[in-house]
């Protein structure tokens, strides 16, 4: 299951992590975000132990959205060693996310 990241736990769980993190910035009122949800959950299951996969609710965590310049959702950031190494804005097929994950493992 995808982790839930917040303004409070993001630094410890994502920026300090020693592996790739895939972070889905979403909101419950966003149709494309809801459509992407099952893909994110599937990636979390498939890459468990290898990649941190989680979600950030932009309504509940505005500081993270501002810090990362999130202006359109869904937006998925790929973060490694505390730095954004890739980004996918908008819903996309699972294969797109898998290619980006493989490129940064």
Hey, which residues are catalytic here?
Answer: 30, 33
Omega within 30 of 0 (cis) for the link into 82: no
At 80, list the tokens: 């490694």
Distances (CA, A) of 25 to 9, 64, 98: 15, 9, 17
Distances (CA, A) of 96 to 11, 38, 62, 63: 26, 14, 27, 27
């Amino acid at each position: 299951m995808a982790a839930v990241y917040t303004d409070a736990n993001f630094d410890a769980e994502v920026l300090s992590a020693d592996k790739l993190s895939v972070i889905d910035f979403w909101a419950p009122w966003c149709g494309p975000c809801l459509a992407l949800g099952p893909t994110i959950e599937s990636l979390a299951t498939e890459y468990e132990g290898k990649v941190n996969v989680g979600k950030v609710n932009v309504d509940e965590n505005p500081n993270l959205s501002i810090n990362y310049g999130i202006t359109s959702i869904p937006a998925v950031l790929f973060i490694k060693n505390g730095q954004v190494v890739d980004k996918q804005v908008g819903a996309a097929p699972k294969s797109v996310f898998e290619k980006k994950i493989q490129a940064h493992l």
